[in-house]
Structures are given as structure tokens and as C-alpha cells.
Structure 1
């Protein structure tokens, strides 16, 4: 049986979404990737990534709005979940990791 695929999105794919992706590296239950919704993102969101994902987590409402605006035709009935995590953290910041775990525990079996 294949693992559920999680896609984490923030603006530039520098701090928040890569941290979330890193939390699931070698996870026994989930597979994860991350991308950014901005043109200058380290890894830019594509229709292919939307297609790959089973669950899509956006750090802020504006990311969900951009996904719906640009990739609405590819979303289908995939859940688009807003975590409400502001751009106040650096990569692998301990506070960010705690916040991600707290927010994700409502949606995933961690």
C-alpha cells in the first residue's frame, strides 16, 4: 500500500514548507514534498506537484488562494488545508517545528 503524499506550500519555499517536508523525511507513514507559490520560489509549485499530492497544506490563506486561482482545475476534491503559520521563522526553527506538529496533528496521525 502506498503512503499518503503530503505537499507543503509557503511563498518562497525557503523556511516553512521545507521544514515541514524535513519533518517527514524517512517517515514510516507519509511521503512529503514542498514548494512555493511565488515566482522566485526555490522549488516552484507546478500542476505535476498538485497531481502528485494526496493532501495539500498551505502555511497561509494567501497560498491556498493562489493554488485555487492557478491550479483549481488540477485540485479536484483534494483537501487544501490552511495551517495559519506566519512567515516568522527560519528553517528548522524549534518553535516552527512545534507549531507544525501541533497544527498537523489535527489532520494526520503523527
Structure 2
């Protein structure tokens, strides 16, 4: 089975990206991790995360900019996708889950 390595990134890795990791990790065909860009992140994104990932989903433009600033070399050739999901949702919020599934399904085929 071919696995796609997917990384989800938000600011603190507590709500949006962690929710994405939890909802997508059971899907066969995906290996999923999450991280945050801020100093106080639960798991702070590093070059190893970027190197590991084939697809990187960021929640906001500021996350995309931080990756380009901090990991300029590592990001070359990576598929980087901005989901445009604001920091308005708590962990495992139903609306957040619906938005994540809808937007990610534009890039990854998900089962119904």
C-alpha cells in the first residue's frame, strides 16, 4: 500500500492541526503528523517534520510565511497547501472537522 506522509501545521498544535491529525490518522493510505509554528507549541515544527512530509497543510498565511522563512531549503519541492482556517475553533470542534474534511478532500481522496 502506498502511504502519503501528511503534515498539518497551525500555531500552537493544540486545536486545528491536532484535530486534523486525529481525524485523518485512521485513514488508510495516510501517515499523519502535526506541529505548530509558535515557541510554545505542543510540538514545534522542525526541519525533520518538513523533510518527512510529502504534503504540508497550513491553516493560515502566517504559517506558510513562517515555513518559507525558517525552512527555505527544506520546503523546496514540497506540496504546501494553505487551508485558510482561522483560529476560531476548539479541539475536535464539529464545524472544524467538517471544514477540514471538505478542504483536505480537494487534495486527497477520502472515503465517504
Give the structure-1-normalised TM-score.
0.97
1:56-110 Cα distance to aligned partner (Å, 9 max, x none): 0000000000000000111121011000000000000000000001111111101
Which residue is equivalent to 1:47?
47
Matched, 1:37 2:37: yes
Unmatched segments (≥5 aa) in structure 1: none
CA distance in 1, matches of 2:2, 2:52: 12
Whether the 8 Å CA contact 2:58–2:64 is kept in 1: the answer is: yes
Shift of 1:19: 0.3
> What is the root-mean-square deviation in Å for CA atoms of aligned residues?
0.8
Unaligned runs of 5+ in 2: none
1:4 — aligned with what? 4
Q: Match for residue 18 of structure 2? A: 18
Q: Please, what TM-score do these two structures have when normalized by structure 2?
A: 0.95
Number of positions where the alignment pairs a residue of Structure 1 with one of Structure 2: 110
Aligned equivalent of 1:62: 62
Displacement over 6 Å in runs of 4+? none
